[in-house]
Amino acid sequence: MSHTPDNNDNLRAAEQRLEHAWTNRELEPSALRGVAETVLAEFAQTSGAERLLARARLARAHALTNAGDFAEAGALADLAAEEFRRLGDSEHAAWADLSRAVCAYYRSDYETARRLTEGARDAFAALANDRGQASAHSALANIARVSGQTGPALVHARHALDLFRACEHRPGLAMTLNNLGAIAHDLGDFKQAVSYFEEALKIARAMGYRRVEGFALNNIGSSCEAGGDIATALAWHRESFALKEKTGDRRGQAISLNNIGIALKKLGRHAEALEQQQRGLELFRAMEDDWGQSYCQLELGDLAAKRGERNRAREHFEQSLTLRRKIGDRRLEGEALLALAGLLLPAAADSADLVQARNCAAGALAIAEEMDVLPLRYEARRQLQQIERAAGRLEQALGHCEEAMTLEKQIARREADERLNSLRVLHEVETARLELEQERTRAKELEAALHEAERQRQRAAAADEAKSETLRIVAHDLRNPVAAIRAVADLLVDRVQRDTEGSEYCDMIATSADEVLEMVGNLMEEAALADGDLPRERRPVDVSRILQAQVRAHAAQARLKRLRFETNVPDVLVLTANEKWLNTIFTNLISNALKFSPRNATVIVDAEREKNPDGAEAIHVTITDQGPGLNAADMERLFGKYARLSAQPTGGEPSSGLGLFLVRKLVELQHGRVWAESTGTGRGSRFHVVLPLDGTG
């Protein structure tokens, strides 16, 4: 089939459906299988659909694994992995390898499962795919646990837990908690095991992960059973079965039926147990699940032996042995051989049954020694001791007894060491989990506090904005009438020059108007500064002209306090700057000098060109007063917003506390420096402003 626009649209739509189903595979496993099978049917002959078909095969393999069809799932995963590698898609190839590993695990081919999972883990690590790495570590934890390697199982489970938490993948988190519970169960810490399983169950139920919920229910039942509470265990197993029946999880149903049968057997309800085990066996047979069948056959054999049906028990044990040899799981084969030997043991000396029992026990011992499985070696030696004793071969029986005693000590030492190490790691995992829960609680409290702080900040900002807006309006509305008053005062001065008292009144009007205009100007400048609305244009400006103009503008204020100006300013001092900002800077500094100077004092204004330490040219302006001076505390807050100093204006003049704050800001905006000097209280102050000649820093 050739590419067409419609065909491309169909491909994209199918990719989106498949991606959605794959992302939600824990929530809707049946939907994943349906979408995958539809895609495989619709696009089997479509050119350019190779990647889509490979992904559909992987999705179907995942669904079939959940359904217990490991043979077909494994074959599909093999095809998908090969196709992804051909397409250069390393991420999906790693997922396919992980699916192949799961199939190998359920076929009890643990070595293949480990090899494939480690390869997938390394591929995910190279891709920085946390969810993939977490899934791989979770699988490795399972493989290590069933292989009797509790320490490595815990290490992998802890890695998986950290990674699933990092990527916030809750189904994986629940599965890993199930793994940790299973490890705690193996260590005999059933209370801790149930705690992990219950946490997994809580997550699964909250998020609707039915498959994980089924695992958790099943595991809680197993831990209750191991802890001796068989009746409670039976209730959990039945709840697990009901859930799996509802979701169509056939393999899960078969496992639950097997567990229900074991619980009923322990309660002495053998007929009911037999019925449940047979139902489980039929389900495993329908799925061609040799692993599940082998366990059911072993349980059915044990039930038959308890019911006195020796021949039937033998048939079940032999079928279990055949299945385990077919699977290729040597350890399970050894366990089946010991079960059969135990059944045959109560036999007369030199009978055929006793010979077969010896052969079975010897076979189990050979497997145990080959695999170095101490518990299996111990049980085989115990069986052989009893067999040789029954045969009257006491010397051989004594030899097996001595070997069994040595193995028992080795097992005790190894189990103690492993248990101690595993419990240490388990404690570390639990501590980390509790710390994380505490961090989450603190994070929630902090989030609530931050939310409240932000709400208060917004309220304060709104109030501040309203205040600033009010000040802007008031300042704007005051400026024109006050400027008019100032202009009238100047006119009056011209008319009453010969009237000393009248001239003084005019100076008072002019000075008051200047003070209000200064405050209005400062308020408007500060508002513009806060809003970022200050005009930033720069051009050549004569600083000498500005300083002289400011001295003249403050003449009326100086006359009121009988102050004198001394100016040492060159005729011309040009630099590149913002003229409006310079006026604001020097207005505030000269006004401050006048406010804080006593009557009959002198205010000195100096300006010169100089070179900075880096060699760049600058203009240096100093304004010196003979006022009360500055103490150490004043120096620290001198240029702060709304700063209040220890000294007060000598003539009771008003002060907004914004003047020096604006001076610092406007000087810094022009890449300059401003500072003050004072030798102490009562010795006056000197303010320095240094601005670069070219207007750059």
Among 445, 443, 372, which Cα is nearest to 411's?
372
Contact, 54 vs 87, CB < 8 A?
yes
- Which pLDDT value is given to residue 260? 94
Q: How far, in Å, CA of 508 to CA of 518, rounded?
A: 15
- pLDDT computed for residue 477 by the predictor: 46
Among the residues of 496-542, which ranges form H helices? 500-531
Q: In this structure, how many other beta carbons lie within 10 angstroms of the beta carbon of residue 350?
A: 10
Note the pLDDT tens digit of each residue in 31-44: 888 888 888 888 88
CA distance 105 to 566: 97
Task: Name 575's bridge partners.
Answer: 541
How do beta strands 685-692 and 673-677 pair? antiparallel
CA distance 639 to 634: 9
Tell me if 667 sits within 8 A of 695, measured CB to CB. no
pLDDT of residue 101: 93
Give residue 271's pLDDT: 92
List the chain residues with pLDDT less than 70.
Answer: 1-7, 26-27, 29, 68, 347-350, 414-437, 439-440, 443, 461-536, 651-652, 654-656, 697
Q: CA distances (Å), 457 to each of 265, 491, 530, in order?
A: 68, 50, 16
Alpha-helical (H) ranges within 561-690 are 579-595, 632-637, 659-669
What pLDDT score does 496 carry?
Answer: 57
CA geometry: angle 258, 264, 270, nearest 5 deg? 100
CB count, 10 Å around CB of 260? 25
